[in-house]
Amino acid sequence: MTIDNTPTIDQFRPIVLRVLNNGEEHAVRDVCEMVANHMELPQEVRSERIASGQHRYINRIHWACSALTQAGLLERPRRGHYRITDDGKEVDQRSLSEYSEKDMLEWRVWRAYQGEIAQRRRADDTVPSISPSSEELVDPVESLTAGERTFNAQTETKLRKKLQESSPEFFERAVIDVLWAMGYGGTHGEKKHVGRTRDGGIDGVIRQDALGLTNIYIQAKRYSDSNKVGEPEVRNFIGSLNAKGANLGVFITTSSFQPAAEKTAAGYRHGKIVLIDGITLTSLMLSYGGARNQVQPRSVEASPERERKDHGGNEALRRYRRKLRGEFS
């Protein structure tokens, strides 16, 4: 039987805020030590480990820091380092003994984060919803799958935030690599980042064949959630496609599309325009980028040339994710 005398994540959160309330930046390993010392955790508690071998108290403090950051109560000035925010100081002044995820719903950014995770889970109707009252009735494999999907939803949500904070060029190259990893470009295709070369509003091109007879033109908008892509942007994209005599376009954003923009894209008569919003984009990045803990990818038969091409695309996405995933390491 596993012995667990370690404080809960809810109990660790107020102490994390307390030890950081001087406003100084600290490495997460130092935060763990400061919290343990402040709570006077005995050696037997500090010695408890989880299945992976990590100390249980360190694991829970890491999770506490992660959630507090998502709620805007901590910030990460650089990888692996935390600093309290003004909102975090306000919570610390309450001298709480526990601070749960439900309590953190008082913060708008946390509500938005949890709302997006719930939206992603609802989109996957193949995964059962596990509740405490029904847990004993659920097959263990289904329970594991549900937990895996929740983890992926959290990862995708954090990834979308990182993309919104990245540079325009970084985002443009990332979305081109997503489409490349999905197989667009065929065996002898070519991808090109156009970016800020004033090429008529086009950010990238994927040639489907060696001669360039069929090209996919890409536009990427790194927008905040409050800035949805409207009809004018889609019409400008259509104008760029028409100027090039093209009939295939992909418009990708980190936010979402206004209904008028979706209607305009659907009504394009000279070809096909696909709109990809931020939620769909990050789901594709995990599905085709070899993300850790992802659901097994769909099985496909591929030629050796195609396998080499896919490997290259996935490797590019892994490089992007390594740069983006500061929150997950």
Least reliable range by pLDDT among 132-136, 179-183, 279-283: 132-136
Largest CA distance in the chain: 72
Token digits of residue 1: 């039987």
pLDDT of residue 195: 75
Type of residue numbered 59: N
3-state secondary structure of 275: strand
Contact 292, 285 (CB under 8 A): no
3-state secondary structure of 217: strand
pLDDT of residue 147: 64
β-strands 26-27, 74-75: how paired? unpaired
pLDDT of residue 146: 60
What percent of the chain lies above the pLDDT cut of 70? Answer: 78
CA 236 to CA 145: how far, in whole Å?
42
Contact 324, 161 (CB under 8 A): no
Burial tier of 270 (Cβ tally within 10 Å: 0-12, 13-18, 19+): exposed
Contact 317, 175 (CB under 8 A): no
Q: What angle do CA 289, 166, 24 make, to 5 degrees?
A: 115
Q: Rounded to an integer, what is the distance from CA 150 to the centroid of its chain?
A: 12
What number does CATH give the domain 168-328?
Answer: 3.40.1350.10
* 1-106 and 168-328: identical CATH topology: no
In sequence order, the β-bridge partners of residue 193 are 204
- Give the per-residue SS3 of 231-262: HHHHHHHHHHHHHCCCCEEEEEECCCECHHHH
Whether pLDDT at 291 is above 60: no
What integer is the mean pLDDT of 23-42? Answer: 96
Contact 58, 32 (CB under 8 A): yes
What number does CATH give the domain 1-106?
Answer: 1.10.10.10
pLDDT of residue 125: 58
Q: Is the dihedral of CA 227, 254, 116, 85 positive or negative?
A: negative
Least reliable range by pLDDT among 30-34, 142-146, 151-155, 325-329: 325-329
Domain ranges of the chain: 1-106, 168-328
237: nearest Cα among 180, 276, 209:
276
What integer is the mean pLDDT of 292-306? Answer: 33
Q: Residue 171 CB: number of other CB atoms within 10 A?
A: 22
What integer is the mean pLDDT of 275-301? Answer: 64
**Interval 62-76: pLDDT, tens:** 999 999 999 999 999
**Interval 206-253: pLDDT, tens:** 998 888 788 999 999 999 989 999 999 999 999 999 998 899 999 999
Type of residue numbered 274: V
Q: Residue 176 CB: number of other CB atoms within 10 A?
A: 28
Q: How far is CA 317 from CA 12, 206, 252, 289, in A?
A: 35, 16, 16, 5
Contact 255, 230 (CB under 8 A): no
CA 329 to CA 323: how far, in whole Å?
11
β-strands 215-221, 248-253: how paired? parallel
CA 82 to CA 175: how far, in whole Å?
30
Q: Rounded to an integer, what is the distance from CA 85 to the centroid of its chain?
A: 23
pLDDT of residue 199: 57
189: nearest Cα among 220, 155, 172, 212:
212
Whether pLDDT at 301 is above 50: no
In sequence order, the β-bridge partners of residue 95 are none
